[in-house]
Amino acid sequence: MFELKVKTHFAAAHKLTMVGQKCENLHGHNWNIEVYVAGDKLNSAGVLVDFGDIKKCIREIMTDLDHKYLNELEAFESIQPSSERIAIYIAEKLQSSLKALNETVRVSRVSAWESSDSCATYIPDHVLQKQV
């Protein structure tokens, strides 16, 4: 199996309820995002998928999040925009975009760093099932 990683970032504000006093106030983060995609076969050029193609897909997702108040986005209307849910959001959007590029490439994990020492990582079920 091959795994590729692409790093990106975005800045946004949010507020979370029921997690602690500081987080319940409106506040912002400069999130650093690590996206991993995996697959078993290389294409005819000898790569899993072109890094430029992955970066293009990720840029489109970052445009939806960057410099926004996340609580007001449709994706987070009924759920809190925690780092965990941001990682899920990015993974699902990216997986949808990747299908058009290469049916066999899958998002293997996404980490959303809200600070230099705190992150949440989402690992899709298909990855966990493959490991069992």
Q: For 68-81, how does the pLDDT look when each residue is reduced to its tens digit (9 = 90+)? A: 999 999 999 999 99
**In terms of pLDDT, which residue wins out, 100 or 35?**
35
Parent domain of 56: 2-131
Cα torsion at 20, 22, 24, 28 (round to 10°)? -130
The reported pLDDT for the residue numbered 103 is: 77
For the chain, state the CA radius of gyration: 15
Burial of residue 17, with CB atoms counted within 10 A of its CB: 0-12 exposed, 13-18 middle, 19 or more buried? exposed
Is 14 among the residues known to form the active site?
A: no
Of 14, 57, 114, 119, the active-site residue reads 114
Q: Please report, for the domain that includes residue 101, its CATH number.
A: 3.30.479.10
Is pLDDT larger for residue 128 or for residue 1? 1
Name the catalytic one among 23, 34, 84, 92. 23
pLDDT in tens, 100-132: 877 789 999 999 999 999 999 999 987 656 654
pTM, to two decimals? 0.91
Number of folded domains in the chain? 1
Reduced to 3 states (helix: H, G, I; strand: E, B; else coil), residue 106 is strand
Query: Does the pLDDT at position 41 exceed 70?
Result: yes
Q: Which of 3, 67, 72, 126 is catalytic?
A: 67
Neighbours of 91 (CB within 10 A): 23
3-16 pLDDT, tens digit each: 999 999 999 999 99
Residue 57 annotated among the catalytic residues of the structure: no
Rounded mean pLDDT, 43-61: 94
